[in-house]
A = this chain, B = another copy of it.
């Protein structure tokens, strides 16, 4: 646990208080595990990892907590065409590259898109809050198989 995650943890706790969410060991551990994970895990994957440390943690709590945190903007649900929902801690702006074969999700930055204004046709649609690129392809590992 380095300074960054320490800081992230403190920020998380402050954000919970501000949102009127109680700080429970479950929420703290679920957030910590998600922040540490780099693979945009599903509820089930997170639960599998956490049960080692918190044997009584229920899968339902993981689902419920991820939903709660996402609805308060503390974490993000990732856009995918998979059947299982996957999550990530809302980090600095980034985009996703998804392997059609192994489903691994790779984060990348693309500031020219971040800074670009959306086309005029979109202006009359409503209020746009965020925009992300989702690219699909086959990663090198899978290409070699």
Residues of A within 8 A of B (CB): 77-81, 85, 97, 99-100, 106, 108-110, 112-113, 116, 118-119, 121-122, 124-143
Contacts and interface: CB of A to CB of B under 8 A. Distances in A.
A3 B143 CA distance: 40
Given A79-B79, A81-B77, A113-B113, A126 B118 contact: no
A79 to B, nearest CB: 4
Given A79-B81, A108-B122, A130 B136 contact: yes
Contacts of A132: 133-135
19 contacts: A81-B85, A97-B128, A99-B126, A100-B129, A108-B119, A108-B122, A108-B125, A112-B116, A113-B116, A113-B133, A125-B137, A126-B140, A126-B143, A127-B137, A127-B138, A130-B135, A131-B135, A131-B136, A132-B135
Given A77-B81, A81-B78, A140 B124 contact: yes
A128 B64 CA distance: 35
A136 B128 contact: yes
Nearest to A129: B137
